A and B are shown apart, each in its own frame.
Chain A
Amino acid sequence: MGKTVIPFGPQHPVLPEPLHLKLVMQDERIVEAIPAIGYVHRGLEKLTEIKDFTQNVHVVERICGICSFMHAMSYCKCIENIMNIQIPDRAKYLRVIWAEIHRMHSHLLWLGLLADAFGFESLFMQVWRNREKVMDIMEETAGSRIFLSANTIGGTRKDLTKEMLVKIQVILDEIESDLKQIESVFLNDYTVKHRLVGVGVLTKEDAYKLGATGAMAKASGLKTDMRTTGYEAYGELDFEPIVHTDGDSYARTVVRIKEVYQSIDLVRQCIAKLPEGEISVPVKGNPKGEAVVRVEQPRGEVLYYVRANGTKNIERLRVRTPTFANIPALLHMLPGSQLADVPILILTIDPCISCTER
């Protein structure tokens, strides 16, 4: 039988961002998938070489609209490592609190998009209603829904007051009880399971070989979580990376749902342990040297490399984002699957194309 090429994307109802795939089809089955990215390249890495190193915090924050806080945190950590700055303990905990709140919002967004992808509109709205509470926490504590701009080199710009901490805990309780209800639909519903179980299986060996990160790797049984390296305050918190062994779309959903609970738990731990004191230290001089930082984002591991030459501008910034690492795994999963499963498969890697192309 002859082969057909079906273009998937860059504009497609299921895709929040432009990713283009040429799907070589034989009947309804995919033989080969050829990716094409480059639709949202903005040259942000180059822009960081023009701006001051302090202004760059706001530039890197705009690499991604979902994990913006982690981008700013990674960049600040790079510069702090180069300049040997020890940030105050309180700032470490504050960064973890905001990072975990960001992870919750990202995973809830993804769960909604997944529900939308398999056509469960009301579930999508339930999840996003829940997510709105997380967004409110962010706006109330940092001033903005997405671009928190709470990071600065040497600590954080904003502090959390006692009332805010109490309110965060109340909202977290609400989110947890609401999510418990929705969770059973994702995990036990017949139609949902029909679309997820056994779709896009990635074995542990393949995940390792293809360099998958984040929920992709964890769902395939790889215990990779950069948070276990203990950056910021993670070393003082009690948690275990969530691992599933099945490696299919259902396993990835389970991992992400459990990670939301884990984030809720981590925020609670942080609030309980939050030390008093300063939130930032003053920064003097310009950075000189290079540093690599690896941070766990909602989608997986991000790698930041900064080289600075002692002037107010940095020489080079390189970002390796988790979606870039997960695209080979996606291309491995696609051949052999049905055309109707393509949206689910693309969504389960949680693609962030803006991150990938910068």
Chain B
Amino acid sequence: MFNMITNIFRNLASKPATRVYPLQKREPFSRTRGRIDIDMSNCIFCGLCSRKCPSDAIVINKAEKTWEIDPFKCIICGECEIVCPKKCISMNGQYNTPAYSKSTSKHIQQTKVIQSEIKKDDCKAQETA
């Protein structure tokens, strides 16, 4: 009946197991899959990442030199990162921030980023690198 007693005393003396989250953030592990980043200057628009993607989250337009990812479709499996021949896709340990509306982030070569909203909501959604 007194099996929990030692545990209770140990818990009283020890630090809490939880973190005060927004104030105290944990560093992501080196392998954590948070979100996909792309370095557009090296992209050759081969389309391998788009074909490998299990959730069809990446759309590439070779003529317009755009690379577009839908972070709400992306399941962050990391297949695109592995398959990329120029290694311009990289995994960021930080997770995407929550958003009010769904949007995609479109990258154009010349390192310009355009936000294209899917819904016509006026809320700005996605922060992109």
Q: Which residues of A contact B (CB under 8 A)?
A: 51, 54-56, 58-59, 62, 122-123, 126, 129, 132, 139-144, 147, 149, 157-158, 181-182, 184-185, 188-190
Q: How far is the CA of A123 from the CA of B7 in the complex (A)?
A: 10
How many angstroms between the C-alpha atoms of A122 and B4 in the bound complex? Answer: 9
B119 at the interface (CB under 8 A from A): no
Give 5 closest A-B pairs by Cβ, nearest first: A55-B54, A143-B33, A143-B31, A58-B54, A185-B3
Chain B nearest CB, measured from A316 CB (Å):
19
A139 CB contact (under 8 Å) in B1, B17, B32, B75: B32
Give the nearest-CB partner of A188 in chain B.
B3
Shortest Cβ distance from B78 into chain A, in angstroms? 6
> Which residues on the A side are within 8 Å of B53 (C-beta)?
55
Inter-chain contact A158/B31, CB cutoff 8 Å: yes
Q: Which DSSP category, helix, strand, loop or mixed, fits chain B's interface?
A: loop
Which A residues lie within 8 Å of B91 (CB)?
143
In the complex, what residue of chain B is closest to A144 when comparing beta carbons? Answer: B33
Q: Is the CB of B78 within 8 A of A149?
A: yes
A54 to B80, CA, bound (A): 13
Given A144-B76, A189-B1, 13 new contacts (CB under 8 A): A54-B52, A55-B52, A58-B54, A129-B17, A132-B17, A139-B31, A139-B32, A141-B31, A143-B29, A143-B78, A157-B82, A182-B7, A185-B4
Set of chain B residues within 8 Å of A181, measured between Cβ atoms = 6-7
Enumerate chain A residues within 8 angstroms of B3, measured Cβ to Cβ.
184-185, 188-189
| Bound CA–CA A62/B75 (angstroms) | 10
Given contacts A132-B17, A188-B3, A190-B1, contact A58 B31 (CB under 8 A): no
User: Which residues on the B side are within 8 Å of A182 (C-beta)?
Assistant: 7
| Residue of A whose beta carbon sits closest to that of B16 | A129
Chain A residue with the shortest CB-CB distance to B53: A55
24 residue pairs A–B, Cβ–Cβ below 8 Å? A51-B54, A55-B52, A55-B79, A58-B55, A58-B75, A58-B77, A123-B4, A129-B17, A132-B17, A139-B29, A139-B31, A140-B31, A142-B31, A143-B33, A143-B78, A157-B78, A157-B82, A158-B31, A181-B7, A184-B3, A185-B4, A189-B1, A189-B3, A189-B4
Indicate if the CB atoms of B31 and A149 lie closer than 8 Å. no
A352 to B: closest C-beta gap in Å: 20
With A143-B31, A144-B33 known as contacts, the answer to whether A149 contacts B17 (CB < 8 A) is no
In the bound complex, what is the Cα–Cα distance between A267 and B54 (angstroms)?
31
Complex Cα spacing A185 to B7, Å: 10
Decide if B4 touches A144 in the complex (CB within 8 Å).
no
In Å, the complex CA distance between A146 and B107 comes to 30
A59, B7: Cβ atoms under 8 Å?
Answer: no
Bound state CA distance, A142 and B91, in angstroms?
Answer: 13
> Which residues between 73 and 103 of chain B lie within 8 Å of chain A, taking CB atoms?
75-79, 82, 91
Q: Which B residues are CB-close (under 8 A) to A142?
A: 31
